[in-house]
Structure 1
Amino acid sequence: MQENNEIIALFHLIDDPDQEVFDSVSSRIVSYGRGIIPNLENLWENTISNDVQERIELLIHKLHFNDLTEDFTHWKSSSYQDLLTASLLVAKFQYPELVTTPVLQEVEKLRRNIWLELNSYLTPLEQVHVVTSILYNYYGLKGTEVAYQHPEEFLINKLIETKRGNSITNGVLYLLLSELLDIPVKAINIPRQFVLAYIKPYYDENPEKLSPLQRIEFFIDPTSGQVFSHKDVESYFKRISVPPVASYFKPLSHNRIIQNVLEEFSKCFDNERNAYKQKELLDLAKLLSD
């Protein structure tokens, strides 16, 4: 962006010790939009003060965050809330200049490898075995428990890069591949876990008579791809002393899945230095509220 007199004056005031002055300067700079980012980057490179550099970094982050908020708003209002698109938006919180093509290409490669092994005669268990085998054995995906000390394990670009993610990120990848291949695997709302379920195709003329639990063929742990039975899940509920109410077995919408990702991801930023990131992620989650 061409620097005018106002921008030059604003840049001179970035180091003002008065917080009110800086807040006012900050708001005005941000109002210029992302076009001013190259100017801020140039200023950062020519600044020797660490404090001023930090202020510039926060301004650049705020500009990126404004764009991200707008992108999430568009995604929420779109007729088809694509899970991969939203996962990439989550990744852009940490990597605003993320090039998405390598991720899209890798997902398409995985989809094709799985598709080549599928046919219409496979049972539900055989279908899931194909997905699991390609994803965890051939591709080499590793799963970890959710750990808030590792924010990168919440991001799909890092999952593709390192082939390592937590149960939430692995689950999202498993879900989006299943959807691309018309395999009826959905995320469900079991407490303290991110669990997938194979939903039975509706052969019955009155599927609404079935409870959410009765519609589930079996359960899948996205950490490893391991399949669990109804009895296994019953045992889990007994172990945590929680009654297994119907709402825990209803498929989650894409909107709710991404909201959950944002809420869990925000827990990685619980120290004073990064508190603003936690607030921003929770604001994005709130934006997606129905």
Structure 2
Amino acid sequence: MIEAAEFNAMLSLLDDTDEAVVFAVESRFLEEGDSVIEQLEKSWVSNDFPQVSSQIESLIKRIQRNHLHQGFGAWFKQELPDLLEGWIWLSKIKYPGIQSESILRSINDIKMDAWLMMGNVQNEREKIDILNHVFFDQQGFKGDSNQYHYPDNSFINTVLSRKTGNPISLSALYITVAQSLGLPVFGVNLPQHFIVAYCGLKKGVSNKCAVNELKTSEIGEPLFYINPYSKGQVFIKDSVDAFLKVVNVKPMAQFYLPCSVHDIIKRMLRNLHYSFGESQEIEKQQELLLVMKLCGMADEIDIDESDNFNI
């Protein structure tokens, strides 16, 4: 944060006739980064410096973009990144001001409702039945069949506030809540429709390990599958076989087994790229492409891929 007097003096110099002065001031703001966003936003909203209003707005966007790229890039380099953290970074593409604390509180409320109902229940299916009751019946989460490709179906803050999402966003939220309860629920990269699986653990892996810290090599075979887009419908491998037949896709092991957190976020990015195109949000789509490149997806930026089939 910059002292008020210095901050105001710097703003007044943004329309200086000397380009070197303007460049130096902008560079200082960019160096300060996220810490000056609130000050800049207040000045922009109050219009205290109308002659440089457009420059202030541009600075805010540049600082937010730099913050997003640095944070998302650092997150993606982690070997075992946290799904929720990655999803929050993704959501900052459109909603840069979202606060992690409010997101965590909302998710913890869902978790506590389920935890209180589970009590001493040990059976896997019964636990999922309870989670489904809380998630879909009490909380009211549902698939958005009316605006399937609406971009807001992809962001954690809007999924929580609207209680609607697409297959992968509902699955990501479902996974986050389930894992916070210690349930071994993971994403499955099924073509055209993302689902989740309740899995066992490989021999020798302690069941006391934090579920979200397990490597895919430590996760056992799926015991059953869950479709969060269809209110937590539970099914077995035969149904996955049948689905692949319907969409005319050759079965592969990866379509049945848990995928990595990186894979989930990359699929979210591809879906969002498609959604921005459908809604004609071209500027946001271009910003998204830069993030996709950060995630090593340069070869995929011309692919319009989106989940588009209801299982």
Q: CA deviation at 1:200?
A: 2.9
Farther-moved stretch of structure 1 (40-49 vs 168-177): 40-49
**Matching residue of 1:277:** 284
**Matching residue of 1:217:** 223
Unmatched tracts of structure 2, length 5 or more = 206-219, 298-311
Per-residue CA deviations over 1:75-133 (Å, capped at 9, x if unaligned) read 23446412222222222222222233222112112112212233565332222111111
RMSD of Structure 2 on Structure 1 (CA): 3.6
CA contact 2:40–2:60 (8 Å) conserved in 1: no
**Matching residue of 1:11:** 15
Farther-moved stretch of structure 1 (52-61 vs 257-266): 52-61
User: What is the rounded CA distance, in whole Å, between the counterparts of 1:101 and 1:166 in structure 2?
Assistant: 24
User: What is the rounded CA distance, in whole Å, between the counterparts of 2:279 and 2:182 in structure 1?
Assistant: 44
**Matching residue of 1:167:** 167
Q: How does 1:38-53 map to 2 (within 5 A)?
A: 38-39=39-40, 42=43, 45=47
**Matching residue of 2:260:** 253
Give the residue type in structure 2 aligned to 1:266: H
User: What is the rounded CA distance, in whole Å, between the counterparts of 1:146 and 1:240 in structure 2?
Assistant: 22
Q: How does 1:1-290 map to 2 (within 5 A)?
A: 1=2, 2-3=6-7, 8-11=12-15, 28=27, 31-34=30-33, 37=37, 38-39=39-40, 42=43, 45=47, 56-78=56-78, 80-118=80-118, 122-145=122-145, 147=147, 149-202=149-202, 215-223=221-229, 224-270=231-277, 274-289=281-296
Distance 1:124-1:77 versus aligned 2 partners, 3 A rule: same
Give the residue type in structure 1 aligned to 2:118: L
Q: CA deviation at 1:238?
A: 0.9
* TM score, norm. by length of structure 2: 0.73
Paired residue total: 274
Give the residue type in structure 2 aligned to 1:104: L
**Matching residue of 1:208:** none
SS in 1 for 2:223: strand
Distance 1:82-1:114 versus aligned 2 partners, 3 A rule: same
* TM score, norm. by length of structure 1: 0.78
Farther-moved stretch of structure 1 (243-252 vs 139-148): 139-148
Distance 1:195-1:272 versus aligned 2 partners, 3 A rule: closer
Give the residue type in structure 1 aligned to 2:88: L
Unmatched tracts of structure 1, length 5 or more = 206-213
User: What is the rounded CA distance, in whole Å, between the counterparts of 1:88 and 1:121 in structure 2?
Assistant: 32
Give the residue type in structure 1 aligned to 2:103: V
Identical residues among aligned pairs (%) = 25
Q: CA deviation at 1:281?
A: 1.8
**Matching residue of 1:211:** none
Q: CA deviation at 1:275?
A: 2.6
Give the residue type in structure 2 aligned to 1:276: E
Distance 1:39-1:170 versus aligned 2 partners, 3 A rule: closer
